[in-house]
Amino acid sequence: MHLTASLFLTFGTLLLAAPPQTQQADAVSTARRHTLSKADALAKELLSTLSAEDDECHMVTSLAATAGLHDLRQALALSIASCVNEESGSLFKFLNCLRESFEEFVDGLEELQDQHDARLELCTLLGGGIYDPDLDEDEFRDGVNHTYLPYLPGATWVYHAFTDEGLEEITVTVMDSTVEIDEIECIVVQDVVTLDGVLVEDTFDWYAQHADGAVWYMGEIAKNYEDGELVDIEGSWKAGEDGGQPGIVMMATPTAGTTYRQELLLGEAEDAGTVISVDETVVIGIGTYSNCVQTLDFTPLEPDAREFKYYAPGVGLVLEVKPDTGERLELISFTPGS
């Protein structure tokens, strides 16, 4: 999908026409209609390729893409409205505003296509079908004490990553409190992210451990900051609300080759993981860890954002590596809980 030459030609024709002031409104209206018409044609073209509905998973994938197209079309209409309101006094500025709006729309279509393909790939890995875990609150134990996720009250992990933007520090703390999510008692884990000492994210995650040993992720409230000020809670979700579904963050017995959903709220939270290995050795600054579980974590929402994660027995997450860039997030200190 790309910005078509015909749209540029239309913009150029309108611009060269340079209508007098009395015809300005007609030129603006024509350009606006043409842009929306072109957008609708591209959306229909993409929609015609998203028709695979072999089972429930594929049907959900197609419906999610359709919803995404609706959102993109709505965003384009609002963007064009802003162009009319702010730039229609100058045809040159107005057409340039339209071009930028349409390019954003096309970029959105490309991202939507990538997300669709990634969701289809995940459907294949999961074996298709519906995803609706039937969890019984009576089958969950108190607390979380998995050997690869020893989330005991008071436990604290501190991680460092040297990024292009600066030093990222993540502090994970198991709180001495619980919260009931979808009738299941969950522990609360706080995750604080700073960049060069400035707060970026402050999240509270909710986990519960099943009697079979698997650790379930039940949701989060994510507060995102810019320049130290709260800007949104994007990514927040809760199992049992608005279609949110829990997922497994650590299998009872990790088995290489197994893929699982870690969460599901379409458009907001779609993380998944695949167990790569269960006997890795990891060397980081504070020590060497054997018999580590290696997973590949990914999400259809950001198809290019993949991470290898390594979990050590009795410690938990010790290392994250982004395979595309080699960027590492390393554990620099760990305080066990009790």
Mean of all residue pLDDT scores within the chain: 89
SS3 content of the chain, % helix, strand, coil (to 5): 35, 40, 30
Structure letter (DSSP) for residue 55: S
Pairing of β 245-250 and β 215-226: antiparallel
pLDDT above 50 for 4: no
What is the predicted pLDDT for the residue at 3? 41
pLDDT per position as a tens digit, 87-122: 888 888 888 998 899 899 999 999 999 999 999 999
> Residue 164 and residue 159: Cα distance in Å, rounded?
16
Binning pLDDT at 50, 70 and 90, where does residue 220 land?
very high
Q: How far is CA 45 from CA 79, 309, 323, in A?
A: 22, 38, 34
Domain range annotation of the chain: 5-126, 140-335
Q: At what angle do helices 56-87 and 24-47 cross, to 10 degrees?
A: 170
Sign of CA dihedral 240, 255, 127, 59: positive
- What CATH number was assigned to the domain covering residues 140-335? 2.40.360
Burial class (CB in 10 A: 0-12, 13-18, 19+), 150: middle
What is the predicted pLDDT for the residue at 50? 66
> Residue 245 and residue 251: Cα distance in Å, rounded?
17
**pTM (2 d.p.):** 0.85
At 33, which helix (H) or strand (E)? helix 24-47
pLDDT above 90 for 125: yes
Query: Where is average pLDDT lowest: 13-27, 188-202, 205-219, 283-297?
Result: 13-27
At 220, which helix (H) or strand (E)? strand 215-226
What is the predicted pLDDT for the residue at 2? 43
Q: Which amino acid is located at 304 in the chain?
A: D
